[in-house]
């Protein structure tokens, strides 16, 4: 499932290219998780009529949702896009003919935005305002954005003190901090030296600060590496991600821990796979995992962080990473 880094990578890969484009035509294919016109009296027909001729103002992200802001006849509106389990967006002037798994397309003066979703758990919803019932239902309960100044260690610790569930499950719930999905929760807990089964309210203030730093570090590194391509994720430009090549624990059951050499373990939590190192994450001692991770896997320094997620510069970071691609070649990526 695309997580916050994959959704942000997707946004960054087409937001500037689609800005100020005028919508020419909408095509809706097989039903997705929710219909395009859900909540509208006129259903999909009303949504299509409102979209055609509208101008794209920009693309924002809220958690794992993409919000495409539009305006038509001075009336604002938006598309809410969720990639579901297997979805991905493409945006280009010359896309190939639509296939059987392409279920939504928006032709614009700058190119075509197309949703490819084999399992059809994704969704594209039209609304006139975020204050309408369906947008509120989807967005109102989301936690703070982890890559903004709104995500603060002290407030994070206070929120965790009210939760007795395992810390991994609390992170996945998304109502305290949004977008820390299964891959990145496992990785952040490893860097912080915290066992995923530990009750959230047992975390001390210093350990919460370590986890806070690890979450930011892991998510930002994943964005800079184009996300994780485990099966079929690609950006709107058709590019895959490379973060999975650097994972410390996720997907590495039975392999040696990169820090201590112990075997990485896997357990099931809430029907999701959790990966951890019992030695590094023993809940009894602190760990230098974050510092070691910075030294050995990537070298990133945050230049600035903004609470505004509406622009492509909202999570700016200078990051130079050397990694081995699937073809076996060393690849250096520098993102500004």
pLDDT digits (tens, 9 = 90+) for 65-114: 999 999 988 799 999 999 998 889 999 999 999 999 999 999 999 999 99
pLDDT at 139 over 50: yes
Fold type of domain 153-335? Helicase, Ruva Protein; domain 3 (1.10.8)
Distance from C-alpha of 165 to C-alpha of 199, rounded to nearest angstrom: 5
Tokens of 14: 């087409």
Alpha helix (H) ranges present in 52-112? Answer: none
Greater model confidence, 94 or 317 = 94
Asked, colleague to colleague, whether 4-139 and 153-335 share their fold, the answer is no
Distance from C-alpha of 40 to C-alpha of 133, rounded to nearest angstrom: 10
20 neighbors 56 (Cβ within 8 angstroms): yes
Tokens of 319: 């990051």
The pLDDT value recorded for residue 242 is 62
pLDDT at 57 over 60: yes
Distance from C-alpha of 195 to C-alpha of 118, rounded to nearest angstrom: 35
β-pairing verdict for 111-116 and 264-269: unpaired
Residues near 156 by beta carbon (within 8 Å), at least 6 away in sequence = 176, 177, 208, 211, 212
Domain boundaries in the chain? Answer: 4-139, 153-335
Residues near 60 by beta carbon (within 8 Å), at least 6 away in sequence = 11, 66, 67, 69, 309, 310
Interhelix angle 205-224/289-296, rounded to 10 degrees, is 20
**Which residues does the annotation mark as catalytic?**
2-3, 64, 272
- Count of other CB atoms within 10 angstroms of residue 291: 10
Residues near 158 by beta carbon (within 8 Å), at least 6 away in sequence = none
What does pTM read for this prediction?
0.83
pLDDT at 44 over 90: yes
Greater model confidence, 232 or 160 = 160
pLDDT tens for residues 284-300? Answer: 544 444 444 444 444 43
DSSP state of 114: E
Distance from C-alpha of 204 to C-alpha of 202, rounded to nearest angstrom: 6
The pLDDT value recorded for residue 69 is 97
Provide the CATH number for the domain formed by 4-139 in this structure: 3.20.190.10
- Count of other CB atoms within 10 angstroms of residue 187: 27
The pLDDT value recorded for residue 306 is 33
Look up tokens 């570090």; give the residue. 217
β-pairing verdict for 299-302 and 317-324: antiparallel
The pLDDT value recorded for residue 74 is 76
């Amino acid at each position: 499932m695309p997580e916050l880094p994959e959704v942000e990578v997707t946004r960054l890969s087409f937001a500037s290219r689609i800005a100020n484009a005028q919508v020419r035509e909408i095509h809706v294919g097989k039903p997705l998780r929710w219909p395009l016109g859900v909540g509208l009296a006129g259903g999909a027909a009303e949504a299509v009529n409102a979209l055609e001729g509208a101008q794209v103002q920009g693309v924002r992200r809220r958690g794992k949702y993409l919000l495409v802001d539009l305006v038509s006849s001075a009336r604002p509106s938006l598309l809410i896009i969720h990639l579901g389990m297997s979805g991905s967006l493409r945006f280009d002037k010359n896309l190939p003919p639509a296939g059987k798994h392409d279920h939504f397309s928006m032709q614009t003066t700058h190119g075509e935005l197309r949703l490819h979703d084999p399992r059809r758990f994704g969704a594209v919803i039209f609304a006139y305002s975020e204050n309408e019932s369906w947008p509120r239902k989807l967005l109102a309960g989301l936690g703070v954005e982890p890559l903004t100044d709104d995500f603060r260690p002290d407030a994070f610790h206070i929120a965790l003190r009210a939760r007795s569930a395992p810390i991994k499950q609390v992170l996945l719930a998304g109502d305290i901090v949004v977008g820390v999905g299964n891959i990145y929760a496992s990785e952040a807990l490893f860097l912080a030296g915290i066992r995923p089964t530990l009750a959230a309210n047992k975390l001390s203030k210093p350990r919460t600060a370590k986890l806070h730093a690890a979450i930011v570090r892991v998510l930002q590194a994943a964005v800079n590496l184009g996300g994780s391509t485990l099966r079929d994720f690609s950006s709107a430009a058709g590019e895959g991600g490379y973060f999975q090549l650097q994972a410390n624990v996720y997907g590495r059951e039975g392999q040696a821990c990169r820090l201590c050499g112990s075997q990485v373990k896997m357990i099931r939590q809430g029907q999701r796979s959790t990966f951890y190192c019992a030695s590094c994450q023993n809940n009894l001692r602190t760990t230098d995992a974050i510092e070691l991770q910075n030294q050995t896997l990537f070298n990133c320094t945050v230049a600035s962080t903004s609470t505004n997620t509406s622009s492509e510069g909202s999570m700016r970071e200078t990051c130079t990473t050397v990694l081995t691609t699937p073809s076996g070649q060393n690849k250096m990526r520098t993102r500004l």
